[in-house]
Chain A
């Protein structure tokens, strides 16, 4: 039988994240959501405590945690605010290409100074012309002496307005599709970077999102990650690593929705008794609890697979897809349990539904996750 108990170390990491989430993030979640404020003071504090560069090895100044530990932390943070969590963990996504594709020299050159101070990084893959069709990206990298010149536009870039480092995927030859894509490290102050306006989003409003336009941005050859054809593979392997924490993020939102609902159902009265005594509500709560449990266990299993050296592509796709679908469903039911109050912004559950929605879309839409799942599945039969 598998052992689902956490080690004392894992519990203490989770407790630290829980404390931060409940004392620092939760009190400001509603305000930041309402005003779409980017709470930099919270992000700085998260960085100070080591909650930001979770996947970066300690030798480069990160926290050097495994996938399961990352998931435990991310779930706790997302319980308090999905949007803040997105901004806090964006560095993990943006720096993973350097961890996967960088040479020892590149890692030391870029990660050490980056992690030694509070800095944000952004992962630049998605473009206005396509997100899921990553192999069809149009941002061009043209050879220029010993370097490259980047031209094109990326969109929906988390932390884009604030990032001091970008990992950028650009094509040397669009006709080669995935084989033409290379990955680059681009410092935020490189001439030719134009940051778009902060997007007005449905949810994750404490996070900041913008387009990033590259207008002839010159990059030395030493800032290319891997070979000229390796970019697509680096991007996909990055997502294999970072998809699982999105499952954890969705699980955190779902758990919050369940907790709010269960508490409310023990307070709110209708037909002369608390609504928790009505079977209609009990069945909803049971379904929600099933979804939360399943989401968490799938996420833990995917993380366990990655921590045990498996690629985790299938497991992480299943986990991310299931957990994010579960989060939206559970948040939807939470609003239903709250009734009219649930629809009001003064109550916490409608935010959860808006925040949950994004987890079905970003870091690989759930349609893509299902395609990945089917492909991995059929491979076992073909």
Chain B
């Protein structure tokens, strides 16, 4: 099975985030971008499928600025066989549809039975790219997928947990899957593989190529208007009490009089 896994570099969880001077987006300077969250699960799932189907290959693909290269190397260190960086526009873009168009254009020449991605990116959590890529490639798309397994050379089975229960699906290949969770916690890269990944070639589709292929569609359709960090949380209030009744009474009074949650 030719498995393409779409990955996006996202800020490391411990990063201290701030807005760009124009207030429209996240300031990337000083932020470490990593493979994490749902995309990390997607890489794990791609590797699990590869291991269960001899002869399969995993091809990691990332769209965006130069920082994609580090994320692709992380995927190679984990076990991806190949990696392609689809360069974004020099002025940058957060437009998920442009990302999907660029990725779909690049995938025209990349063999793919399964295109796997996180159900949404771990940072902006828009969840648009997998579905949009499927639409552009003209193949089915499935989101919120867990327990993804191969059912032979031309199909997949998976589960979709919903509020009403768990759906069990069978899907044909090729298709796009937005993954909720892999079977396993994502593995860690071994040191010797990290060293090898540093020397691995990264294929590059440069922006002029993508821009030409997309022609009029190469322009971002959405532009961030304002980027603000959440207000700092104020401290918790501890309620002192001797009996549960007293605790409940004090809590209700605070909710009513201070927090004004109900009249």
Contact = CB atoms under 8 A, between A and B. Distances in A.
Interface of A: 8-9, 12-13, 15-16, 19-20, 48-51, 54, 58, 63-65
Interface of B: 34, 70, 73-74, 77, 188-192, 194-195, 197-198
Contacts of A8: 70, 198
Given A8-B70, A12-B73, A12-B77, A49 B198 contact: no
Contact of A20 (B70, B77, B188): B188
Contact of B192 (A15, A19, A20, A63): A63
Contacts of A64: 192
B190 A13 contact: no
A355 to B, nearest CB: 23
Contacts of A12: 70, 73-74, 77, 194, 197-198
Contacts, number: 38
A49 B126 CA distance: 34
A133 to B, nearest CB: 37
Per DSSP, are chain B's interface residues mostly helix, strand or loop, or mixed? helix
17 contacts: A9-B194, A9-B195, A12-B74, A12-B77, A16-B188, A16-B191, A19-B188, A20-B188, A48-B190, A49-B189, A50-B190, A50-B192, A54-B191, A58-B192, A63-B191, A64-B192, A65-B191
CB-based closest 10 A-B pairs:
A50-B191, A9-B198, A63-B191, A50-B190, A49-B190, A12-B194, A50-B192, A49-B188, A16-B194, A16-B189
Contacts of B190: 48-50
B37 to A, nearest CB: 14
A313 B91 CA distance: 51
Contacts of A51: 191
Contacts of A20: 188
Given A58-B192, A64-B192, 5 more contacts: A9-B195, A12-B77, A12-B197, A49-B189, A54-B191
Looking at B70, B74, B188, B197, the one whose CB has the most chain A CB atoms below 10 A away is: B188
Contacts of A13: 191, 194-195
Nearest to A10: B198
Nearest to A45: B188
B65 to A, nearest CB: 16
Per DSSP, are chain A's interface residues mostly helix, strand or loop, or mixed? helix
Contacts of B191: 13, 16, 49-51, 54, 63, 65
Contacts of B77: 12
B66 to A, nearest CB: 12
A223 B34 CA distance: 47
Nearest to B34: A15
A58 B189 CA distance: 16
B68 to A, nearest CB: 14
Nearest to A62: B192
Nearest to B69: A8
Nearest to A24: B188
A49 B77 CA distance: 11
Nearest to B193: A50
A65 to B, nearest CB: 7
Nearest to B77: A12
A15 B188 CA distance: 11
Looking at B74, B77, B190, B195, the one whose CB has the most chain A CB atoms below 10 A away is: B195
Nearest to B198: A9
Nearest to B189: A16
Contacts of B189: 16, 49
A306 to B, nearest CB: 19
Nearest to B70: A8
Contacts of B195: 9, 13, 63
A9 B193 CA distance: 11
Contacts of B34: 15
A9 B76 CA distance: 13
B60 to A, nearest CB: 15
B7 to A, nearest CB: 16
Contacts of B198: 8-9, 12
Looking at B73, B197, B198, the one whose CB has the most chain A CB atoms below 10 A away is: B198
A334 to B, nearest CB: 20
B174 to A, nearest CB: 33
A17 to B, nearest CB: 8
A276 to B, nearest CB: 16
A84 B215 CA distance: 57
Contacts of B73: 12
B130 to A, nearest CB: 26
A155 B172 CA distance: 65
A48 B190 CA distance: 7
A170 B198 CA distance: 43
A315 to B, nearest CB: 25
Contacts of A16: 188-189, 191, 194
Nearest to A58: B192
A50 B196 CA distance: 13
A27 to B, nearest CB: 14
A13 B192 CA distance: 9
B14 to A, nearest CB: 9
Nearest to B196: A58
A16 B197 CA distance: 13
Nearest to B199: A9
A51 B194 CA distance: 12
Contacts of A65: 191
Looking at A12, A19, A51, the one whose CB has the most chain B CB atoms below 10 A away is: A12
